[in-house]
Amino acid sequence: MGASVSEGRSIAGFGIGWSKDEYQVSNIPFQNRGTRANEFVQVLKRIWTDDVVEFKGKYYSIPASKIGPKPIQKPHPPVYLGGFSPNMFSRIVNYDTNGWLAVVGGPLEYIDNTIKTIKDIANKANKDPNNFKVILLAHLNIA
């Protein structure tokens, strides 16, 4: 195996987007973006872990293919999803991502409530709520 710049110290953070303009410019329909996200999380995990990748979904299709190189991190880089909707919190748990990529932009109670929500969803899905972590992004203005 070759060395990488980060030596495996990286995460994969994704969000489905909120701007209809970005979807329009990309010629991708804005509706069903959540279902599309469900598929891309599954596709990426397969690309990173399977020797032969095959996927047939509603939005993405990969014929049996060898795709490489594979990441250094095993089974794959940690996957964090960003967003603020209940559907995103369910997606974090249902697709076994590593956690929530949050942006601090309001009261800290919101962050705390969201963490509790994700843990509740995990408990209801019979998954260990401690398997889901939170990464907080903060944009500081120093005057």
pTM of the entire predicted model? 0.86
Phi, psi at residue 51, to the nearest 5°? Answer: -65, -45
Q: Is residue 2 part of a domain?
A: no
CATH number at 133 reads 3.20.20.30
Our CA dihedral for 137, 94, 79, 120, rounded to 10 degrees, sits at: 40
Does any domain span residue 117?
Answer: yes
Does the pLDDT of residue 1 top 50, yes or no? no
Could you give the number of structural domains in the chain?
A: 1
Q: What is the pLDDT of residue 108?
A: 84
85 is written with which tokens?
């909707």
Identify whether 122 is part of a domain.
yes
Q: Is the pLDDT of residue 55 over 50?
A: yes
Q: Which domain holds residue 120?
A: 12-138
- Domain assignment present for residue 68? The answer is yes
- Summarize pLDDT for 66-114 with one digit per residue, the tens: 999 999 899 999 999 999 889 999 999 999 999 999 987 778 888 899 9
Lowest mean pLDDT among 28-32, 56-60, 119-123, 137-141: 137-141
At 141 the pLDDT is 75
In a domain, 116, yes or no: yes
37-53 burial, b at 16+ Cβ within 10 Å, e below that, comes to bbbebebbbbbbebeeb
pLDDT tops 60 at residue 43: yes
Residue 3 above 60 pLDDT? no
Please report the pLDDT score of residue 97 as a whole number: 96
Q: For residue 46, what pLDDT is reported?
A: 96
Distance CA 21, CA 27 (A): 10
